[in-house]
Structure 1
Amino acid sequence: MNALLNILAGVSLETRDMPVLCIKICVVAIITVVLRGIFWFLDMMLIKPLFDPLRLVPGPEGAVMQTHLRQVLDPSLSPRTHVDWTTKFGKNFRIHGFGRHDYRLMSLDFRSMVHVLSSPSFEKPWQTRTLLSRLIGSGIFSMEGAEHKKQRRLIAPAFSAQSIKNMAPIFFRKAEEVCERWKKMVPSQSVKSEESVSDLASGSGSKIDVAPWMSRAAFDIVGLAGFNYDFHSVEDETEEVYSAYRKMFDIADKGINLRAILEFYFPIMRKLFVTDDIRVTNESLKTIARTGKKIVEERKAEYLAAQEHGMENKDVLTLLIKANLSTDPAKRLTDKELLDQCSTFLLAGSDSVSNGLCWSIFLLASHQDVQKRLRQEIRKMYTTTDGYHSDSSDDSGFQDNTPCHLHPAESSGWDQPCSCSKTRLDAIENLTYLDHVVREVLRFCPPIHSTIRVAVKDDKIPITHPVTLKNGQTLGEKGEESYINIRKGSYVHIPIEGFNYSEDVWGPDAQEFRPERWNDVLEWDPSKPGINNLMTFSYGPHSCLGHKWTISEIKIFLCTLLHSFEFHPVEGVSISKLNTIITRPYVKGEWSAGPQLPILVREAK
């Protein structure tokens, strides 16, 4: 400090040597920045860890800059990690983030998880929200606090049970469209020659990468059901908006490197040093925004015209437009907020559903006994000639009705639903084994592997299971009310997959795919996880509004596809999970090729 004062003392107001003055000011600024940097580094590495209450929580040790993030975030390692560390340290334990100084809490204690996901004391980290905002704008997934509550309240009616029934014709239409396209790709088994029969027996069929097909179908469904706009990406995977969306997320799926971390703290880098990835992302965002504005303008005109006749839809875009045009400032959305919500719904909504469909097909291909039993149940809904129809069985769930065939070119629009589609959906909802299979897929392969929260103020996290601290004290030893202290700025990791794999909840076979485990679960509300339930759709104010949409769409697609096709693994191809924004399927050894799920598809016998 004496050196700084001496420098400043030499700066006279009467000096006429401006260059010298500028140099002295720059030296002072540089020294100040360096000193602040040194203090920040020492505070982060040495001082704060000494007073962090998480230092006393048991957990794995490591070197000064060793991280445990790979063990808990890599799906190939995390299931074993969760078992090992909970066995050794308990349901709540401490891990290292970006080094030994970065204490973080990981919890598989249900009570602790519920508190963190429900309490206003915890929010998504600003880094996570920055990344989401960069991709999908300031929509519901990247908002917190009052703004998040406002957006959630506006959108919720679009995901009611009745709204999902109204959307059913679109789900069926796109499922049948994919089915028709695949029939042209899969050789028929109606051949009679001995050679052809031999080929079929030895595993002939068509190898189809189902990942892009499910992605394109889910994308089209969101466009139709959410905006009454068909992108036709099932027909043409080079469709402009879908291609922009796919390119952008392929870049995001590469993960976070050192440069990306620096960009969070110094956003100007994205403008000064434009890489190919940044350029492609920016171009994709422009394409999506341009089309979004066009759709919004068209729907606004339709909304105003409908209002004159006393009509009103409850699709997502209509609800957003209504808020956008509201005279009440508390309910109004700006044009930017409206477009950001559209992007959020389009991109995030379609990705989670398509991912669930991919893992459903993969797991059915890997478990032929489950696939066979499920196909038998589905075919009870069919007759040989007239499609979905009553089979006169007591448990078919069908009422006698006139068959309804929705072909790709014959859409009635979601706002003019066919009553037959509603009946078909009711019947599908009554298929017990299908319900168990879908539950088990979502348990076994949750689209979101884990989530993270940061404490925005000092807090106490309640615990159910005892925690023995490093000082010998045991919290909750005799069942008394107890807490883990956590300070402002600390991170808490919530392993969604870890809870879904918990042996305490699901038994010793928790890491096996077994739909029969749901036979004894009488009540299931995906938005309220608990014992014998799921964390897949999260919990609390940030739980997934679209869980009913997701489940219905997966069920309809499985019913449609399994009626016509058999799924088998491709010989020599090993599929692995990769946790990026969403846990996607990849071919081992071909990570650079992006998400893939090659499946051998054959005509169902």
Structure 2
Amino acid sequence: MESLPALFYTALAAGAAASISYLFYLAILEPQWNPLRRLPGPPVRGFFGNHMGMVLDPSRSPRVHEAFVKHYGRNLRIRGFLPWDQRLFTLDPVSLAHIMKHSTIYEKPWQSRALISSLLGVGMLAAEGQVHKRQRRVATPAFSVQNMRALVPVAFQKGVELRDRWMALIAEAQSGAEARKNGGGARLDVCHWVSRATFDVIGLAGFDYQFNAIQDESNELFTAYKEMFEIAVSQQGGGLWELLIVYLPILDRFAPGPRYGVIKKSQEVIKRVAGRLIQEKKRKIEEAEKAGSVYGGKDLLSALLRSNVAVDLPTDQRISDEDILHNINTFMFAGSDTSSLSLTWILYLLSVYPDVQTRLRAELRALLPPLPLSALTDEDAAALYAKVAALPYLENVIRETLRLIPPVHSSIRVATQDDVVPTATPVKLSTPDGGVVEEDSFVMPKGCCVHVPIEAFNLDRGVWGPDGWQFKPDRWGNLPEAVKAQPGLYNNILTFSAGPRSCIGMKFSIIEIKMFIFTLVSNFKFAESDKVGKANVVLTRPYVMGKHREGSQCPLLVTPYIPESAA
């Protein structure tokens, strides 16, 4: 009879052999049998080589994407981070529309859901299937056109407050040594300031909570959200440890680093403070119901809670308080970070293209009311926004910025079952005998991922024309015919995604962007201060060239605008 140590070593050896055999299958055999191998694709250097760096880096991805189409067509195969990670890369509008439409077949992979849920909980960004469907059904009334319009005064108020804060900072700067050099303006990190302002907006619009972040950054709930989003997400190193955590999240618990500590501390504050806000809102809604009235809170949390207890919503379709909190976290992230980045990139592009800035300012200032903006009532602000929303050049500047620099550079989906993907143009598939055949569809195998190149779709020069990489707001007056075939919730671009998982807060984001641009560009001139580049760190963020380690920033020279007649 074998001794216990011998049995242990035998079992250990058997386990090791099984693991090695499985890895051999994954890395060597499975890729050879994968139907995606029939698609053309770029070569891979080395056993652990992959294409992710070149497709994720916004400083070179446009050139890479265009080279892919030129050499391999609009549907091709690339390799992900691991040897067996074969992925579909598609710039075919029919293929992508099919994938985005069939969201129950193509879901976020578990790695993405684990990362999102570890930060925000299982809200609409992380949920799939029936859970997502139930959450979206409850949330949709909160994002109605009527509710969004009710939030206009909030965005307007915070735009005016940011204007006044910048005026004060510029006045302070006039006493410094840099005053003459800056020509009456000041060097401001607009990325930082706009982020504080959009946090204020989503705080009030989201759950009627005053962060007061434009004035100071001491609020504990603001600090918790900001640290979680910036330190745990924006400042990821993208190294081996971060990659291992994505695939093995449990490592974060056994060997917790600074990221894990920030997340844990932030989530404790959010659960305590935001959880209390939810209970207070529920109490007010219940008290109003007992009094025979309806609680009139205009914030998203109030609308969400009212929708969740609506008489026409079956009990089994309602969501828990925990789900409510997770979705508020999701709205905070999506409503502050993406909007602030869009605003930042608009201001940056206006500084790079002063002629566009001058033309836009003339259009905006033509709507300035005789009263000071700070004196306008909520009704006045709503009436003013109706006029601002109809401005054609403002609309084109926003469209063009969201096309050129989408906050989300790319995303990923995984096939939950084998699927046949249609194509707009024939795809060249290899045959067992070494030949090639052209087909109008191809097989997407279960378990394989789709790389959704959002930026590439928006910049595709085969669709948008030879100037597709340039910032040209006037293009929207005469679009190429091919643009109409592009999928996308917003103006045939993928910035707000497409299909059932498209951005539920698009209307709110556009309202916020337009009101801030109206207030800021009509009152300030923006000029380049430092050379700014893009980096894809969860979202596409600005960094000063050569100073990446200093974090995301976009310093611009901001000067009060003085009309020539008043100068």
Alpha carbons 1:450, 1:494 under 8 Å: kept: yes
8 A contact 1:231–1:239 mirrored in 2: yes
| Aligned match of 1:102 | 85
| Matched AA of 1:473 | V
Secondary structure of 2:513's counterpart equals: helix
Structure 1 residues 86-128: Cα deviation after superposition (integer angstroms, max 9, x where no partner): 1111111111112554321100101111111121221101000
Change (3 A) 1:530 1:405: closer
Map of 2:376 onto structure 1: 405
1:159-170 counterparts in 2 under 5 A? 159-170=143-154
Q: Does 1:474 align with 2:437?
A: yes
Q: How does 1:111-260 map to 2 (within 5 A)?
A: 111-119=94-102, 120-187=104-171, 199=180, 203-251=183-231, 252-253=233-234, 254-260=236-242
Sort the Cα spacing of 1:190 and 1:230 in 2 relative to 1 into closer, same or farther, 3 A.
closer
3-state SS, counterpart of residue 357 of structure 2 = helix
Tell whether 2:421 aligns with 1:439: no
What secondary structure does 2:315 align onto?
coil
SS in 1 for 2:210: coil
- Shift of residue 84 of structure 1? 1.1
| Conserved 8 A contact 2:204-2:299 | no
Shift of 1:316: 2.4
322, 326, 339: which one aligns with 1:353? 339
SS in 2 for 1:33: helix
Distance in 2 between the 1:49 and 1:94 partners? 11
Structure 1 position 32 matched with structure 2 position 18: no
| Greater Cα offset, 513-522 or 320-329 | 320-329
Q: What residue in structure 2 maps to residue 46 of structure 1?
A: 28
Task: Quickly say closer, same or farther: Cα 1:468–1:266, change in 2 above 3 A.
Answer: closer
Aligned residue number for residue 70 of structure 2: 87
The superposition leaves residues 396-439 of structure 1 with CA deviations (integer Å, 9 ceiling, x where unpaired) of xxxxxxx9526xxxxxxxxxxx2212211100011110011111
- SS across alignment from 2:412: strand
Amino acid at match of 2:403: R
Task: Determine the C-alpha separation between the residues in 1 that align with 2:216 and 2:293.
Answer: 37
Instruction: Please say if residues 444 and 501 of structure 1, whose CA atoms lie closer than 8 Å, have aligned partners that are also in contact.
Output: yes
Instruction: Give, in angstroms, the shift of residue 25 of structure 1.
Output: 4.4
Identify which of 498, 502, 507 aligns with 1:539.
498
- What is the Cα deviation at residue 287 of structure 1? 1.3
In the alignment, what sits opposite 1:516? Answer: 474
Aligned residues: 548
What is the CA distance between 1:174 and its match in structure 2?
0.4
1:573-588 matches, within 5 Å, as 573-588=530-545
Match of 1:602 in 2: 559
Measured against aligned partners, the alpha-carbon deviations of 1:502-523 in whole angstroms (never above 9, x if no partner) come to: 1132111000000000113699
What root-mean-square deviation, in Å, do the aligned CA atoms of Structure 1 and Structure 2 show?
2.7
User: 1:76 matched to which residue of 2?
Assistant: 59
Shift of 1:221: 1.0
Q: Shift of residue 459 of structure 1?
A: 0.9
- In structure 2, relative to structure 1, the CA distance for the partners of 1:153 and 1:357 (3 Å cut) is same
Which segment drifts farther, 296-305 or 311-320? Answer: 311-320
- Residue 404 of structure 1 contacts residue 421 of structure 1 at CA under 8 Å; is this kept in 2? no
Show the 5 A alignment for 1:366-515. 366-382=352-368, 385-387=370-372, 404-405=375-376, 418-471=378-431, 472-476=435-439, 482-515=440-473
Q: Secondary structure at the match of 1:464?
A: strand
* Mapping for residues 281-320 of structure 1, pairs under 5 Å: 281-307=263-289, 308-313=291-296, 315-320=299-304
Q: What is the CA distance between 1:199 and its match in structure 2? A: 3.9
Identity of aligned residues (%): 37
Aligned residues of 1:220 and 1:230 also touching (Cα < 8 A): yes
Q: Distance in 2 between matches of 1:531 and 1:466?
A: 27
CA distance in 2, matches of 1:259, 1:32: 29
CA distance in structure 1 between the aligned counterparts of 2:68 and 2:492, rounded to whole angstroms: 23
Which deviates the most, 68-77 or 581-590? 581-590
Q: Deviations over 1:286-327 (max 9, x none)?
A: 112111112112211211122234214464212433466679
SS at match of 2:424: coil
- Whether the 8 Å contact between 1:324 and 1:338 is mirrored in structure 2 is no
Once the 2 structures are TM-superposed, how far is the Cα of residue 368 of structure 1 from its aligned partner? Answer: 0.2
Q: Structure 1 CA distance, aligned partners of 2:536 and 2:92?
A: 23
Which of these two proteins has the greater Rg computed from alpha carbons?
A: 1
Structure 2 equivalent of residue 393 of structure 1: none
- 1:56·1:469 contact (CA, 8 Å) conserved in 2? yes
Q: In structure 1, what residue type is equivalent to 2:105? A: S
SS in 2 for 1:185: helix
Instruction: Provide structure 2 residue ranges, at least 5 long, that are not aligned to the other structure.
Output: 563-567
Q: Residues 270-281 of structure 1 correspond to what in structure 2 (within 5 A)? A: 270-281=252-263
Give the aligned residue type for 1:227: F
- On the 8 A contact 2:428/2:436 being kept in 1, the answer is yes
Match of 2:565 in 1: none
- What TM-score do the two structures reach when normalised by structure 1? 0.85
The answer for unaligned runs of 5 or more in structure 1 is 1-9, 12-19, 389-402, 407-417, 477-481
Matched position secondary structure for 2:343? helix
Q: Rate the CA distance shift 1:285–1:367 in 2: closer, same or farther, 3 A.
A: same
The corresponding residue for 2:528 is 569
Note if contact 1:320-1:333 (Cα within 8 Å) is conserved in structure 2.
no
Structure 2: how far apart are the matches of 1:547 and 1:323? 19
Alpha-carbon distance between aligned partners in 2 of 1:98 and 1:266, rounded to the nearest angstrom: 14
Given that 2:465 and 2:480 are in contact with CA atoms closer than 8 Å, whether structure 1 keeps it comes out as: no
